[in-house]
């Protein structure tokens, strides 16, 4: 047996012994517990039974008591409720009585206050505290507006009071108005302007404004003003004041620079007398603005001192105690604040109008018309600034009103606008006045030397080379000798002068002036053909002048821009060439129309000859002679008026055309004749032969050959010379002249015409037949 086994066997015995001992101990404890439970149960029951009985009795007693209590409570409830409702009714009754008494008290208090206010106002009126009176009344009024009770209508005293207030108010109104009228008296002397009509303007001669304002009166006046304002009457009074100011004082100031202004003080009244000085109106026109401005400042300052510095929307300080609840602003009586003076009222009413008037009349007149006088405008600016400052100081203008200063700010703009206007008016006057006064366009440079061309482009050496290699004629780019309307020359000179001035002015002015010149010529395009339409149609001389005018203007427009380009601001594109086409076309068209008209006249004359047939008859011969004489006379007239006017080339062309028209008509007529008797041919020759010298004379300048000029300018002239030859020629000579279609006759007439002529002139022979055969 191992040691371990021995130990295990030993412990087993010990364990069995221990368990036995434990079982014995438990058994004895269980017995003890049984006894204890039995004892406990016995003793508890014994105590419990009697307690139960007592408790049941007590319960019964308690429920009895509870019954009694609820009965009692019911009784009490009934009784107290009754008493409570009664008491509540009584309380309410008392309460309403209290309220009634209170409102009666309030009403009475208000009435008292109203009464005292009314008394106060009356007292104030007596003491000349009109503003006070007015404010009291208005307070009463506002008080009456708030209903005392909802049964105000039944309270008769309220209605009576309202009536009373109304009456008082009316009285005050009357009083104040009367006082205002008394204090501010106008005395205006006017003269009727020319016509009898009622609405014609009355121009003032003498205006005097009399204001009683001395010492205490100042405050009285102010009181009146404030009173009026409070009574809402100031509006009306000021309206009439403003009207008078606008109607009488301002025109005097603006239109008559020389005024006699006096302030007369007598006792408490001050009188401002403005008197127009008739005799002096003509003088001193030059610097009218100076006196106008000083008059304005003087009058305005005086008005301000006399009357208009009064504030109307404030309470005097001493009355503040009474009206502390009034809506008027505290501190508005501060003298630096002009917001609510009569002057500011006046300013608000007429300010914009007056400033505008000043701008349009006085300042506009003071704006210089010449750039040289621009410096002088500084003085105007200074004057305007003084006026501006003065008007602000007296409160006529609000400090932020810059209109007057702005109006003179841009001198350049004012100047250039005025300048443009002046130019255009002047130009238009020139254009609509007569065109018939002519002046000669001389060949020398009319506007002095041209400035050098703008450098650049071609190198100088190259330019010199070109210039020396290709000598231009002296006549290049020259206006040919002719006559133009005097007015148009003045117009072009005006354009040059304006541009000259533009080139010496500031860029803005320059631009304006340049545009003015441009407009000037645009106006020319429109105005002249329209305004002078009838004249241009009727008078060949005027048509010729107009033609030249157009050419003259175009001639200058070509270079006008370039001449001044270098000296004008770069924003200007200095060219007038776009107008040239239109102007030239107009000139040409007018003149061509005139030529057509003259053509018609000439052909009318030729109609008298009835085709130049049967000239062997005396009457027909004479008629034809008369017709040709008329035509020549008419051409001679045209020569007389056109030759000195038109450029020589245009003149020759025009006359050539008219002569050509006559020649064509005569030769066509003769070619169409069936038969020309020998005597008729001789008559015709006699009629036609002087034409060469007469017409030739019309076309030649000294040293020129008439026949050459006729051939040169009258396309159909050879027809006349050939016709004359044929009329006087033998058959043989005609044949030679024809020369198989190679002779001069063939140049002037067609074969048909020649054959017709030969048939008409010569008798039917074999020789004639032979000749006719060769003409084809």
Partner 1 sequence: MEEQEILTTLKILIIGESGVGKSSLLLRFTDDTFDPEQAATIGVDFKVKTLTVDGNRTKLAIWDTAGQERFRTLTPSYYRGAQGVILVYDVSSKQSFNKLDAWLNELETFSTKQDMVKMLVGNKIDRSNHEVSKEEGLKFARKHHMLFIEASAKTNDGVQCAFEELVEKIIQTPGLWETSGKTIRPGQGGADVSQGQSCYCVI
- Using a 10 angstrom Cβ sphere, with 0-12 exposed, 13-18 middle and 19 or more buried, the burial of residue 474 is exposed
Q: Please choose, out of 9-17, 338-346, 741-749, 756-764, the segment that lies near partner 1 by the rule CB under 8 A.
A: 741-749
| Inter-residue contact 717 to 711 (CB < 8 Å) | yes
Enter the tokens of residue 14.
């010990």
Query: Within 10 A of 776 (CB to CB), how many other CB atoms are there?
Result: 10
Helix (H, G, I), strand (E, B) or coil at 75: helix
Shortest Å, Cβ 612 to partner 1 = 26
Using CB under 8 A, pick the residue from 36, 497, 585, 736 that binds partner 1.
736
Shortest Å, Cβ 517 to partner 1 = 41
Q: Does 653 contact partner 1 by CB under 8 A? A: no
Cβ neighbours of residue 281 closer than 8 Å, sequence gap 6 or more: 256, 257, 258
Using CB under 8 A, pick the residue from 89, 147, 170, 741 that binds partner 1.
741
Please calculate the CA angle 410-413-416 and round it to the nearest 5 degrees: 145
Q: Please choose, out of 219-227, 378-386, 496-504, 734-742, the segment that lies near partner 1 by the rule CB under 8 A.
A: 734-742
Residue 621 or residue 696: which is nearer to partner 1 going by CB? 696
Q: Does 648 contact partner 1 by CB under 8 A? A: no
Going by DSSP bridges, is the β-strand pair 438-441/482-485 parallel, antiparallel, or unpaired? antiparallel
Residue 507 or residue 743: which is nearer to partner 1 going by CB? 743
Residue 593 or residue 739: which is nearer to partner 1 going by CB? 739
Residue 225 or residue 720: which is nearer to partner 1 going by CB? 720
What's the rounded Cα separation, in Å, for the pair 759 and 489? 59
Residue 89 or residue 740: which is nearer to partner 1 going by CB? 740
CA distances from 116 to 78, 244, 494, 666 (A): 58, 41, 83, 121
End-to-end, the C-alpha distance of the chain in Å comes to: 187
Enter the tokens of residue 631.
């035509």
Shortest Å, Cβ 714 to partner 1 = 12
Residue 446 or residue 706: which is nearer to partner 1 going by CB? 706
HSE-up of residue 179 (Cα within 13 Å, Cβ side) = 25
Residue 604 β-bridge partners: none
What's the rounded Cα separation, in Å, for the pair 583 and 523? 11
- Sequence-ordered strand ranges (E) for 281-414: none
Shortest Å, Cβ 661 to partner 1 = 20
HSE-up of residue 522 (Cα within 13 Å, Cβ side) = 9
- Helix boundaries (H) for 373-479: 377-393, 403-409, 411-432, 460-469
Shortest Å, Cβ 558 to partner 1 = 28
Shortest Å, Cβ 728 to partner 1 = 16
Residue 204 or residue 735: which is nearer to partner 1 going by CB? 735
Shortest Å, Cβ 718 to partner 1 = 9
Enter the tokens of residue 401.
């009103």
Shortest Å, Cβ 462 to partner 1 = 30
Shortest Å, Cβ 490 to partner 1 = 39
Shortest Å, Cβ 452 to partner 1 = 37
CA 512 to chain CA centroid, Å, is 17
Residue 644 or residue 744: which is nearer to partner 1 going by CB? 744
Applying CB under 8 A, the site for partner 1 has a residue count of: 14
Q: Which of 232, 293, 203, 233 is nearest to 257 (CA)?
A: 293
Cα-Cα-Cα-Cα dihedral sign, residues 56, 61, 64, 65: negative
Shortest Å, Cβ 712 to partner 1 = 6
| Inter-residue contact 517 to 499 (CB < 8 Å) | yes
Shortest Å, Cβ 711 to partner 1 = 5
| H or E stretch at 261 | strand 259-266
Q: Please choose, out of 4-12, 218-226, 506-514, 737-745, the segment that lies near partner 1 by the rule CB under 8 A.
A: 737-745
Q: Which of 286, 281, 254 is nearest to 360 (CA)?
A: 254
Q: Does 742 contact partner 1 by CB under 8 A? A: yes
Shortest Å, Cβ 704 to partner 1 = 8
CA 575 to chain CA centroid, Å, is 29
Enter the tokens of residue 331.
């501190």
Residue 208 or residue 707: which is nearer to partner 1 going by CB? 707
Residue 339 or residue 706: which is nearer to partner 1 going by CB? 706
Shortest Å, Cβ 775 to partner 1 = 12
Shortest Å, Cβ 742 to partner 1 = 4
| Inter-residue contact 582 to 516 (CB < 8 Å) | no
Q: Please choose, out of 278-286, 485-493, 689-697, 739-747, the segment that lies near partner 1 by the rule CB under 8 A.
A: 739-747
Q: Please choose, out of 132-140, 315-323, 484-492, 733-741, the segment that lies near partner 1 by the rule CB under 8 A.
A: 733-741
What's the rounded Cα separation, in Å, for the pair 354 and 339? 19
Residue 690 or residue 741: which is nearer to partner 1 going by CB? 741
Shortest Å, Cβ 424 to partner 1 = 47
Q: Does 737 contact partner 1 by CB under 8 A? A: yes
Q: Please choose, out of 58-66, 70-78, 128-136, 738-746, the segment that lies near partner 1 by the rule CB under 8 A.
A: 738-746
Using CB under 8 A, pick the residue from 593, 739, 750, 767 that binds partner 1.
739
Kindly identify the residues of this chain, within the stretch 658-717, that bind partner 1 according to CB under 8 A.
Answer: 705, 707-708, 711-712
Shortest Å, Cβ 741 to partner 1 = 7
Q: Please choose, out of 54-62, 170-178, 509-517, 742-750, the segment that lies near partner 1 by the rule CB under 8 A.
A: 742-750
Residue 339 or residue 751: which is nearer to partner 1 going by CB? 751
Q: Does 89 contact partner 1 by CB under 8 A? A: no
Residue 171 or residue 711: which is nearer to partner 1 going by CB? 711
Cβ neighbours of residue 164 closer than 8 Å, sequence gap 6 or more: 118
Q: Does 434 contact partner 1 by CB under 8 A? A: no
Long-range contacts of 495-502 (CB under 8 A, 24+ apart): 495/520, 495/521, 495/556, 495/560, 496/447, 496/556, 496/560, 498/419, 498/423, 499/560, 499/563, 499/564, 499/568, 500/564, 501/370, 501/371, 501/419, 502/564, 502/568
Shortest Å, Cβ 743 to partner 1 = 5
Kindly identify the residues of this chain, within the stretch 337-356, that bind partner 1 according to CB under 8 A.
Answer: none
Residue 170 or residue 741: which is nearer to partner 1 going by CB? 741
Residue 533 or residue 741: which is nearer to partner 1 going by CB? 741
Residue 62 or residue 708: which is nearer to partner 1 going by CB? 708
Residue 236 or residue 747: which is nearer to partner 1 going by CB? 747
Enter the tokens of residue 182.
């008394």
What's the rounded Cα separation, in Å, for the pair 423 and 430? 10
Cβ neighbours of residue 363 closer than 8 Å, sequence gap 6 or more: 289, 380, 384, 407, 408, 414
Q: Does 740 contact partner 1 by CB under 8 A? A: yes
Residue 77 or residue 705: which is nearer to partner 1 going by CB? 705
Site string for partner 1, 560-599 (x = CB under 8 A): ----------------------------------------
Q: Which of 537, 556, 424, 443 is nearest to 489 (CA)?
A: 556
| Inter-residue contact 551 to 582 (CB < 8 Å) | no
| Inter-residue contact 758 to 731 (CB < 8 Å) | yes
Kindly identify the residues of this chain, within the stretch 743-762, that bind partner 1 according to CB under 8 A.
Answer: 743-744, 747
Binding site for partner 1 (CB under 8 A): 705, 707-708, 711-712, 736-737, 739-744, 747
């Amino acid at each position: 047996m191992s040691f371990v086994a021995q130990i295990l066997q030993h412990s087993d015995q010990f364990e069995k012994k221990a368990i036995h001992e434990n079982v014995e101990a438990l058994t004895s404890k269980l017995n003890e517990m049984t006894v204890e439970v039995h004892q406990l149960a016995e003793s508890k029951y014994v105590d419990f039974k009697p307690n139960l009985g007592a408790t049941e009795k007590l319960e019964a007693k308690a429920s009895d008591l509870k019954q009694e209590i609820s009965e009692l409570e019911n009784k009490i409830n009934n009784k107290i409720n009754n008493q409570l409702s009664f008491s509540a009714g009584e309380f309410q009754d008392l309460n309403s009585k209290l309220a009634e008494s209170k409102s009666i008290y309030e009403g009475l208090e208000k009435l008292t206050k109203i009464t005292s206010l009314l008394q106060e106002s009356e007292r104030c009126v007596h003491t000349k505290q009109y503003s006070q009176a007015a404010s009291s009344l208005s307070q009463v009024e506002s008080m009456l507006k708030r209903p005392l009770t909802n049964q105000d209508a039944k309270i008769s005293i309220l209605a009576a009071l309202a009536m009373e207030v109304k009456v008082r108010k009316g009285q005050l109104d009357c009083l104040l108005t009367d006082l205002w009228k008394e204090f501010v008296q106008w005395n205006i002397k006017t003269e009727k302007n020319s016509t009898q009509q009622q609405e014609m303007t009355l121009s003032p001669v003498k205006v005097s404004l009399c204001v009683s304002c001395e010492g205490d009166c100042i405050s009285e006046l102010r009181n009146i003003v404030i009173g009026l304002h409070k009574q809402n009457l100031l509006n009306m009074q000021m309206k009439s004041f403003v009207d008078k100011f606008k109607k009488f004082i301002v025109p005097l100031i603006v239109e008559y620079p020389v005024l006699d202004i006096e302030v007369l003080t007598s006792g408490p009244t001050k009188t401002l007398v403005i008197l127009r000085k008739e005799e002096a109106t003509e003088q001193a026109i030059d610097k009218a603005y100076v006196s106008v401005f000083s008059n304005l400042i003087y009058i305005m300052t005086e008005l301000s001192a006399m009357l208009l510095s009064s504030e109307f929307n404030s309470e005097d300080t001493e009355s503040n105690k009474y009206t502390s609840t009034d809506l008027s602003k505290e501190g508005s009586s501060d003298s630096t604040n002009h917001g609510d003076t009569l002057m500011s009222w006046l300013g608000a009413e007429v300010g914009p109008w007056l400033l505008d008037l000043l701008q349009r009349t006085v300042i506009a007149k003071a704006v210089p018309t010449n750039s040289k006088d621009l410096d002088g405008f500084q003085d105007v600016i200074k004057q305007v600034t003084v006026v501006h400052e003065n008007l602000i100081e007296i409160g006529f203008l609000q400090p932020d009103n810059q209109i007057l200063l702005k109006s003179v700010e841009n001198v350049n703009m004012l100047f250039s606008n005025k300048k443009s206007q002046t130019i255009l008016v002047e130009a238009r006057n020139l254009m609509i006045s007569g065109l018939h006064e002519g002046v000669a366009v001389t060949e020398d440079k009319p506007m002095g030397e041209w400035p050098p061309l703008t450098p650049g482009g071609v190198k100088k050496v190259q330019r010199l080379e070109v210039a020396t290699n290709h000598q231009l004629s002296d006549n290049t780019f020259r206006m040919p000798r002719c006559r133009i309307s005097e007015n148009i020359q003045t117009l072009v000179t005006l354009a040059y002068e304006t541009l000259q001035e533009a080139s010496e002015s500031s860029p803005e002015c320059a631009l304006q002036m340049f545009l003015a010149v441009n407009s000037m010529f645009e106006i020319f395009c429109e105005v002249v053909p329209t305004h002078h339409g009838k004249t241009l149609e009727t008078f060949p001389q005027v048509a010729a002048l107009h033609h030249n005018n157009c050419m003259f203007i175009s001639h200058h427009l070509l270079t006008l821009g370039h001449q001044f380009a270098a000296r004008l601001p770069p924003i200007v594109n200095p060219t007038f060439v776009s107008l040239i086409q239109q102007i030239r076309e107009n000139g040409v068209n007018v003149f061509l129309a005139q030529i057509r008209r003259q053509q018609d006249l000439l052909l009318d004359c030729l109609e008298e000859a009835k085709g130049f047939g049967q000239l062997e008859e005396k009457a027909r011969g004479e008629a034809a002679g008369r017709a040709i004489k008329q035509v020549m006379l008419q051409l001679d007239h045209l020569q007389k008026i056109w030759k000195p006017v038109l450029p020589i080339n245009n003149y020759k062309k025009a006359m050539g055309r008219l002569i050509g028209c006559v020649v064509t008509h005569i030769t066509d007529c003769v070619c169409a004749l069936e038969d020309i008797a020998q005597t008729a041919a001789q008559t015709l020759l006699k009629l036609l032969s002087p034409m060469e010298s007469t017409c030739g004379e019309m076309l030649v300048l000294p040293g020129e050959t008439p026949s050459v000029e006729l051939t040169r300018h009258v396309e159909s002239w050879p027809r006349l010379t050939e016709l004359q030859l044929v009329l006087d020629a033998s058959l043989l000579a005609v044949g030679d002249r024809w020369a198989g279609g190679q002779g001069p006759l063939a140049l002037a007439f067609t074969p048909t015409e020649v054959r017709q002529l030969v048939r008409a002139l010569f008798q039917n022979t074999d020789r004639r037949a032979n000749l006719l055969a060769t003409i084809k």
